[in-house]
Structures are given as structure tokens and as C-alpha cells.
Amino acid sequence: MRITVSRKAHFNAAHRLHNPELSLDENQETFGKCNNEYYHGHNYDLIVHVTGEVDPKTGYLIDMKVLRDHIKNEVEDYLDHKNLNIQVPEFSTLNPTAEHIAYVIWNRLTAVLPKELELKVTLYETPRNYVEYSGL
Ligand code: NI
């Protein structure tokens, strides 16, 4: 039986969206308030979706305690209360947009989850704006 299980998580982080190859005016035009040179924060909500075959022995797709621990170690401990531009190595060269944050989260979780499971992450930067990434 193929099924999807999901778990929610949350973290707060600061960022600045800025492309050094653009002029200050172009950055301001492109990124608006998110270009503020003194950074600003977002309350990110994350949903991690894992899809695959249920283990007939346990009836589980994945032990939720295991999934919880991976999310804590790879996402919450890594990103929560951080300045993404300054403190998270991936964003030294990658603009920390919601798209790129979802990409980084997906890569970190994929590295620790069982290979036979498919992963999709849904990341809310605001209650109305969210992005999804499934590695495709
Ligand atoms: Ni922002």
C-alpha cells in the first residue's frame, strides 16, 4: 500500500534578499522590503511529506519519532533563530528566498531519509505564500 505521511515543523529566521550583481536600485525594485540591508525575520512553517510503501510488519511508512528527529536535527537546529545569509553556509552563495530555503531543506532531509521514500517539502514564508519542492 502506497501512502503519504506528513509532519509540520516551524522555525524563525532572518534574511536579506540581495543579488550583488544587480545595482542597489535594481535590488530594491526586485526584492522590496526583503532587500533591507539590516535584515528582517520570517516565521516559517514547514510541512514534510514522505511517500512510499507501508511496512507490512509495523503498518508504518516511517516511524514518526524518526521523522521528527530528522526534522529537528536537519532543519530546526540548523535554521531556527539564525541569520540565514550569515550563519548558514548554503546561503553564502544562494539568495535565501523561500524557493532556495525549500531546496536546502529538501537536500538535507533526503540525505538522511531511507532511499526508497519520496520526499516533498512545503514551506510557508507567510501564511499565504508557500513553495513546494520534491527534488524534480
Ligand atoms: Ni523576507
Output the pTM of the full model.
Answer: 0.95
Catalogue all structural domains in the chain, each as residue range(s) with its CATH number. 2-133 (3.30.479.10)
Cα of 72 to ligand 1 centre, how many Å? 23
pLDDT in tens, the chain (136 residues): 899 999 999 999 999 999 999 999 999 999 999 999 999 999 999 999 999 999 999 999 999 999 999 999 999 999 999 999 999 999 999 999 999 999 999 999 999 999 999 999 999 999 999 999 999 9
Query: Catalytic amino acids?
Result: 34, 81, 125
Distance 88 CA to ligand 1 centre (A): 16
Beta-bridge partners for 7: 48
Q: How far is the CA of 33 from the centre of ligand 1 (A)?
A: 7
